[in-house]
Amino acid sequence: MQTGGHILSEFNAALKSFKSKTVNIGCLSQQNLENAIQGMISRNSELCNKVIAEDEDVDQLEISIDEEGMTLMSKYRPFASDLRAIVASMKITNVIERISDHAVSIAKRSRKLNKFPELPETALIEPLYKQANSMLTDALSAYSNSDLELAMKVIEADDALDNLHKQATKKLTKCLEGEGENHKAYLHLVFISRWLERVGDLAENIAEDVIYMETATDIRHGGELPS
């Protein structure tokens, strides 16, 4: 960015604060996801209610970050890597907000699930959550530390999550085809499984934006990873 020394220093501080807010919304969204799953596992509907209530904080922070990003672009007119950092951060913030929305959906299904007798098939969800949450943790860390290697690791990890989702869906579908009385409960688990698979996809989106931010390489839709 072509500016005087003091203006450049001011911009760098503003950009650092901006990225810090993006990391913060990521942590809030990830906490909502953890609480939603714990609400299911521990059959704690109050924890599910907490997720639903705290999603508003994520929504408001997303709006604040979008406004701040627009201010940075109009005030400092950055280009090249600085502009990519702002644009990518705004895109990542939107993705993070969608993850929190999925956490809310999981929390709502978990509240309904808690009204049924506890099902052993609930255990199918835990490996999915662990894989999706690991991908999200790595994606946020890759963003925070500008770590390309870690971003690529997130993308590679998506196949494992897809396999876990397929296995869980297959087993839950068999339960739905049976003659038991808990069809609605199994259907809740199918939806929760699907949303966790989507969280992994969104973590992959974050990793793709990190790669774009650092290399100007767009790897979406079959683009090649930077060598």
* Domain spans of the chain, in order of start: 5-222
- What share of the chain has pLDDT > 90, as a percent? 89
Alpha carbon of 116 to those of 127, 133, 156: distances in Å?
Answer: 22, 26, 37
Helix (H) or strand (E) holding 115: none
Q: To 10 degrees, what angle do helices 80-113 and 5-41 make?
A: 20
pLDDT score of 5 more than 90: no
| pLDDT surpasses 50 at 50 | yes
Domain 5-222 has CATH 3.40.50.2300: no
How far is residue 51's CA from residue 211's CA, in Å, rounded to a whole number?
31
Give the tens place of pLDDT for each residue, 130-161: 999 999 999 999 999 999 999 999 999 999 99
Q: What is the DSSP letter of 178?
A: S
pLDDT, greater one: 181 or 60? 60
The 10s digit of each residue's pLDDT in 69-105 is: 999 999 999 989 999 999 999 999 999 999 999 999 9
Calpha distance 208→204 (Å, rounded): 6
| H-helix or E-strand spanning residue 77 | none
Angle at 46 between CA 45 and CA 50, to 5 degrees: 115
Above pLDDT 70, what percent of the chain? 94
Tokens of 213: 């931010």
Whether the per-residue pLDDT at 2 is higher than 50: the answer is no
Q: Is the confidence at residue 223, as pLDDT, over 90?
A: no
In the structure, what pLDDT confidence band is assigned to residue 226 with cuts at 50, 70 and 90? Answer: low
118-134: average pLDDT: 97
- Global confidence as pTM: 0.92
